[in-house]
Structure 1
Amino acid sequence: MSIKFLAEDDRPREKFLLKGKNALSDAELLAIIMGSGNREDSAVELGRKILSSVGNNWHNLSLLQISDLMKFKGIGEAKAISIATALEIGRRRAAQEVPEKMQISSSSESYKVLLPYLSDLHTEEFWAIYLNQNNRIVGKGRLSSGGINQSVVDIRILFKTAFEHLATGIVIAHNHPSGNLKPSSEDLRITKQIAEAGKILNIQLLDHLIIAQNSYLSFADENLL
């Protein structure tokens, strides 16, 4: 019986999307790697058999050779290599140190992060840096791009993305291709809207940068927030 005929709650991929990766059993995770089972067993059932043969221990499974994995019905060379590759990725991940996230403590540090993305553009783009409670970067990205004169940002998308990163603070920025660092009335208006929305949502607007090719203006430094 293939995965597509199982109850939806039992399909590993759908379960992953609906309930998250932590909701999956070891056999279901292995089933996703394999993709399919055999004529007698679903991918999940085949995963259970393989794991049972090594005492349900991932470390023991990683010791099996490709030829050992191919002894299970339904496991050809391609599936065996996929399993071995996934286990090797896990081993390398475990061996690596978790990289420390960069901490933002000044407008100049925010500027250095965003300069490579915004300094040489001919049209305006709007970017955001997402920070945790220690002001360490948990994400960054472009929110919009516009014409020569302006870039409009959707505040709903900004805060939706902030929630996805579990951010408690944000730094926003856009470029002025003209090189003029003076904030426009629209710059001031959107900054005020974002700051007010952030207060309601408990996500603090820490700064707004206007970036030119070799310089920048910080709303926080100029007391414009």
Structure 2
Amino acid sequence: MTFEETAYNTSRRILSWAEEDRPREKLLLKGKGALSDAELIAILIGSGTRELSAVDLSKIILQKASNNLNELAKLSLKDLMKIKGIGEAKAISIAAALELGRRRKDSDVVRRPKITSSKDAYEQIRSYLMDLPHEEFWVLLLTRSNEVIRPVQISQGGISGTIADPKIIFKSALEHLASSMILVHNHPSGNLKPSEADKELTRRLVTSGKLLDIPILDHLIISELGYLSFADEGLL
């Protein structure tokens, strides 16, 4: 056993730790920012040795790089594999993760499209609903500054209707931390006039959105002839 391994040999195995102190569980409970560099590397390598936990082995890996991630990225696979307990697979996992981090720095930040009008919303969602022979219900989830987080399909129905469950709609918004949303569905018939059911559903969702602090900004009906905006028509 090397001196470096002995220095950490008093640590308990990870599985005997309190759940909130295990790297994977800690990430789930507290978020990735709560983990140390060693804990993040431990998740990458997955396991330690008979004498060392994955976290303790990760501390040794970091020591080899003077506890500096930039220096760690300079180590070759052969350098990493010189550490007892680090085989080819673990060395490759570490190198791949560090390379992803380097590429992220070089990547441009993707700017989300911003919704400033019903036409903007229509342009973002129309390709999902054009030319469909059946009705579908979608939502555009938005950030606080009205940037599009993502479009989400809520339901798919028949020629004359589809079910839009408010629980599923707001569950999608909460899961993606949306600050607001725009409702969208299509009318395959080409008729852009909202039905009484469309109006009633919109009223219910607007009321629920106010209670949950996730306002409904608009409801679009899309057909091959264009679109109708509830907001533009004063129907919200």
Give the alignment's TM-score, normalised by structure 2.
0.89
Structure 1, unaligned runs of 5 or more: none
Which residue of structure 1 aligns with residue 152 of structure 2? Answer: 141
Q: Match of 2:129, as an amino acid?
A: L
Which residue of structure 1 aligns with residue 8 of structure 2? Answer: none
Q: Deviations over 1:115-144 (max 9, x none)?
A: 111112222211111122221112321122
- SS of corresponding position for 1:16: helix
Check whether the contact 1:119–1:213 (CA below 8 A) recurs between aligned residues: yes
- SS of corresponding position for 1:128: strand
Which residue of structure 1 aligns with residue 41 of structure 2? Answer: 30
- Coordinate RMSD, CA, aligned: 1.7
Which residue of structure 2 aligns with residue 62 of structure 1? Answer: 73
Shift of 1:41: 1.1
From 99, 112, 116, give the equivalent of 2:110.
99
- SS of corresponding position for 1:194: helix
Supply the distance in 2 between the matched residues of 1:215 and 1:73 (Cα, whole angstroms): 66
- How do 1:109-128 and structure 2 match up within 5 A? 109-128=120-139
The size of the alignment, in residue pairs, is 225
Q: Match of 1:219, as an amino acid?
A: F
Which residue of structure 1 aligns with residue 140 of structure 2? Answer: 129
Which residue of structure 1 aligns with residue 119 of structure 2? Answer: 108
From 35, 40, 53, give the equivalent of 1:42.
53
Q: Match of 1:76, as an amino acid?
A: G
Which residue of structure 2 aligns with residue 220 of structure 1? Answer: 231
Shift of 1:82: 1.0
Q: Match of 2:133, as an amino acid?
A: H
Supply the distance in 1 between the matched residues of 2:190 and 2:15 (Cα, whole angstroms): 57
From 69, 73, 87, give the equivalent of 2:98.
87
Shift of 1:103: 0.7
Supply the distance in 2 between the matched residues of 1:154 and 1:74 (Cα, whole angstroms): 52
Q: Match of 2:215, as an amino acid?
A: Q
Supply the distance in 2 between the matched residues of 1:206 and 1:189 (Cα, whole angstroms): 16
Supply the distance in 2 between the matched residues of 1:75 and 1:7 (Cα, whole angstroms): 26
Which residue of structure 1 aligns with residue 64 of structure 2? Answer: 53
Check whether the contact 1:144–1:153 (CA below 8 A) recurs between aligned residues: yes
Check whether the contact 1:209–1:219 (CA below 8 A) recurs between aligned residues: yes
Indicate the percent of aligned positions where both proteins have the same amino acid. Answer: 54
Q: Match of 2:101, as an amino acid?
A: G
- The 1:2/1:151 distance shift into structure 2, 3 A limit, reads farther
Supply the distance in 1 between the matched residues of 2:164 and 2:23 (Cα, whole angstroms): 37
Give the alignment's TM-score, normalised by structure 1.
0.93
- SS of corresponding position for 1:140: strand
- SS of corresponding position for 2:221: strand
Q: Match of 1:140, as an amino acid?
A: P
Check whether the contact 1:3–1:36 (CA below 8 A) recurs between aligned residues: no
Structure 2, unaligned runs of 5 or more: 1-11
- SS of corresponding position for 2:33: helix
Supply the distance in 1 between the matched residues of 2:171 and 2:114 (Cα, whole angstroms): 22
Shift of 1:204: 1.9
Supply the distance in 1 between the matched residues of 2:155 and 2:42 (Cα, whole angstroms): 39
Check whether the contact 1:103–1:137 (CA below 8 A) recurs between aligned residues: yes
Shift of 1:213: 2.9
